[in-house]
Structure 1
């Protein structure tokens, strides 16, 4: 299949290094990964030949070493999301917010966008905590059971809410909300660009913020484009 006709999320699922190319060109591969590369380029106002060239260069530069998420067992993917991404949000999120508050106190007058940045990240961490709890207490326990049933080749009863499509739909909606929030953060920070008058703390804040956003988008990508679709397939096969 011509790569331009493949969904962006599928491209990243097959080769995660392409995420860096899409990030550079402002193409959303996680929350809106269900559109073709051709349409994503049109939406972002990017020339397709430019993207294809960048993808080819990225593939040449990467000699193995990227994490093959798409080939992992589903229970390992859940473990990774819980132990890397859920823990990371809870440990790094408050530290990041404290750093933004520190920089805002010093530079807020010259850079009023820091006030909006602080409020965006504060609200995000509150919403993310509720999101993580839904995954940990409602969705993931059943997904573990479903995976185990499929491994043992026996059917199990439906989830208490009828189908995993229901909580997954909620997760998709919340992912899109967070994705849009952090795309806006990229805009107001001008792509995490360091201002000329920035001090060391300002530079550190932007670097940590970009790392936090990259990790969040990896989290959303794994769930939206790999984990959830594969579990929907398992549900069709093993839930009675």
Structure 2
């Protein structure tokens, strides 16, 4: 059945097939932090021809069968995936990238002063992300697990010291917006992660690592904003309706 992409949000389109993220990246459409925007408005905001975007999505669809169908995963399995893949990788890879960037700045910073700005932005990002991950791991995700268990056991909605789950979710989404904007700035400062002619191997490598880090962060934010958070809010509502 042919999909009516014009009536779908960009978050829904990527949740339907994560391969579509490549198309949105091509046209500069933000599907993670602004995933609730309908495709026509998102295309207009990015200065993209919506018909061309849809054409690329439809051409991609037949070869995108290898993408993981996250939207049909159980909610607690999605939480496991985010914690064990995305959170671990941020904590493992982030400091390594920062260390390499610090070395590159010492060698190339004088000729490429924008590197110092990238250095500051990445350090701020890793500090904020560490606190962000702590809040998800210690507050939000444990409650999601409790709600899933309550649903399976036919129990009532468990008590939550934050009130509604929508309260911490709104904080997480705001922090996602901050990180999305920060990495858009990093991308701009590095000219789309393009290495200058005088770049050494380490300079080229750190740009590749920053690009990969941002791509993984986009998937992380997309999974939470467009799949996990809406389903958690829906689950809370279901448990409230059936005490």
TM-score, normalized by the shorter chain, greater than 0.5: yes
Equivalent in the alignment of 1:170: 171
2:165 paired with 1:152: no
Equivalent in the alignment of 2:49: 47
Structure 1 residue 54, shift from structure 2 partner: 1.7
Q: How does 1:61-210 map to 2 (within 5 A)?
A: 61-62=63-64, 64-210=65-211
Structure 1 residue 57, shift from structure 2 partner: 2.5
The worse-fitting range, judged by mean Cα deviation, of 191-200 and 52-61 is 52-61
- Aligned residue pair count: 239
Structure 1 residue 93, shift from structure 2 partner: 0.2
The worse-fitting range, judged by mean Cα deviation, of 145-154 and 81-90 is 145-154
What SS does structure 2 have at the residue aligned with 1:192?
coil
Separation in 2, partners of 1:180, 1:102: 25
Moved over 2 A (4+): none
Separation in 2, partners of 1:60, 1:208: 30
With the length of structure 1 as denominator, give the TM-score of the two structures: 0.96
Structure 1 residue 35, shift from structure 2 partner: 0.4
Equivalent in the alignment of 1:37: 39
Structure 1 residue 154, shift from structure 2 partner: 2.0
Structure 1 residue 84, shift from structure 2 partner: 0.4
What SS does structure 2 have at the residue aligned with 1:88?
helix
With the length of structure 2 as denominator, give the TM-score of the two structures: 0.95
What SS does structure 2 have at the residue aligned with 1:158?
coil
Unaligned runs of 5+ in 2: none
Structure 1 residue 195, shift from structure 2 partner: 1.5
CA contact (8 A) 2:146 2:158 kept: no
Unaligned runs of 5+ in 1: none
